[in-house]
Amino acid sequence: MTDQTAVDQRLFRDVMGTFATGVTVVTLSVDDEPRGMTANAVLSLSLDPPLVVVCVQRTGSMHELFDRASSFGVNILAADQRPVSDLFASHGAPEEPMGGFDYRLGATGVPLLAGTVAHVECRISERLAGGDHTIVIGEALEVGYDAEGADPLLFHRGRYRLLGGEA
C-alpha cells in the first residue's frame, strides 16, 4: 500500500491548466429546448467505433439535462467565437434559444452552432461516474469541419489564447 497525500485542489487546477485545450460548446436538446455549455473536458476516445468523451460537472446546471438527453453535439469554437464561449460558460439558460447565436439542428435534433471550426454529433452510449463529474461517452454519428481551416479558440492557464504559428 502506498502513502497517499492529499493534493491541494487549487494547485491541481493550476497544474492541469497548463495543458492547453480547445474550447467547445457542448449542445443538446431536451423537451425541444436547445441548450449548451462551454467545456474543455472533451476528447476523442476511439476511432473504431468513433467515440467522444464529455465530462459534465455533477453540480452544474446542465447535468440533469445530460441525464435525460439521448444525444449531444460538440462544437469546436473558432478563434473569433469567444463571445459564444463566454455566454455558454455562464450558468442558466439564455433568454433566446442558443443565446441568439446562429445554429441548425443536426440529425438527432441537437443544435450545431454556425461558424465553428468543426462539430461532432453523438448518440450517448454510456455514462460513468468520475469524481465530481459524469463521464458521458457518445458515438459519433455525423462530423464536419471548416475546410477553409479557421483557427481554433484555445484555453491555457485560465485565459483564452490564439494559435501562434507552427512550432
Mean pLDDT to the nearest integer, 34-45: 94
CATH class in words for 23-143: mainly beta
Residue 101 has pLDDT above 60, yes or no: yes
Residue 4 has pLDDT above 80, yes or no: no
The confidence score (pLDDT) of residue 2 equals 52
Amino acid at 72: F
**pLDDT of 43-77, one tens digit each?**
999 999 999 999 999 998 899 999 999 999 999 99
**pLDDT of 118-148, one tens digit each?**
999 999 999 999 999 999 999 999 999 987 7
Q: Which of the residue ranges 14-18, 27-31, 134-138 would you say has the lowest mean pLDDT?
A: 14-18
Mean pLDDT to the nearest integer, 93-108: 91
Q: Which of the residue ranges 86-95, 110-119, 121-130 would you say has the lowest mean pLDDT?
A: 86-95
Residue 109 has pLDDT above 70, yes or no: yes
Residue 167 has pLDDT above 70, yes or no: no
Q: What is the pTM of this model?
A: 0.91
- Per DSSP, the residues of 46-73 read EETTEEEEEEEETTSTTHHHHHH-SEEE
- What are the Cα distances from residue 109, in Å, to 8, 68, 82, 93? 41, 14, 25, 18
Domain boundaries, the chain: 23-143
Across all residues in the chain, what is the average pLDDT?
92
Where does the pLDDT of residue 20 fall: very low under 50, low under 70, confident under 90, or very high at 90 and above? confident
What does the block give as the cell for 91? 450558468
Q: How many Cβ atoms are within 10 Å of 149's Cβ, its own excluded?
A: 7
CA angle 41, 44, 45 (to 5 degrees): 105
